[in-house]
Amino acid sequence: MPESQPKLPAVFFDGAHAYCQDTEACESLLRMGFGARREEGLKLHMLEALYLAEKGKVEIFGSKKKGKKLEAAKLLKAKAHSSSPSLSEQYILFKAFRSGGQIVRFSSSAPLLWRVYARGVGREQDRPQTLLFLIGKKWSLSLPRLESILSTARALRLEPAFAYVKDGKPSIVKLSKLSLEA
């Protein structure tokens, strides 16, 4: 008789975030650097939930009331038009960092900023290493905006970098400002 697959923890999607209420799964995901503890359970960014679903760690469902299982590929396509860079481009970038062992924390506002931690470092153990500015295909940059980006990263004591997707592959460009003063 074939062994049945263990039931995966359910993650409920609310349109912007996903929530896990399985206490054991929440603790395990937190230890792996995913999500943030909230009163209603573990709050996951949509990209984290998609990544975990692809890796076979969770199943994504619609709201708790509807309970319909959602497919990750459909979620990426359905939301692809709504942000710049697209959600599918963001996912390519997120997956590259997580597959490389790095933890990513997200900003909740525009512009899209991610705080990236060094490999093997948890968010409670150390500060982030890089402030990542996500850029889309039609993005342009002025000198005052560049100076603002560098100032923001410097104020947070983080390395500034731009991330984008070209030909389906993630690209990262790190920046620095050299001081000419002695």
Map out the domains of the chain as residue ranges.
10-75, 82-174
**Could you give phi then psi for residue 98, rounded to 5 degrees?**
-65, -40
Q: What's the pLDDT score for residue 80?
A: 44
pLDDT at 66 over 70: no
Region 121-149: mean pLDDT is 81
CATH superfamily placement of domain 10-75 = tRNA intron endonuclease, N-terminal domain (3.40.1170.20)
Give tens-digit pLDDT for 148-162: 888 888 898 899 999
Domain 10-75 and domain 82-174, same fold? Reply is no
Mean local confidence (pLDDT), 85-105: 89
Place 125 in a pLDDT band, splitting at 50, 70 and 90: low
pLDDT at 108: 67
3-state secondary structure string across 86-107: CHHHHHHHHHHHHHCCCCEEEC
Confidence band of 82 (pLDDT split at 50, 70, 90): very low
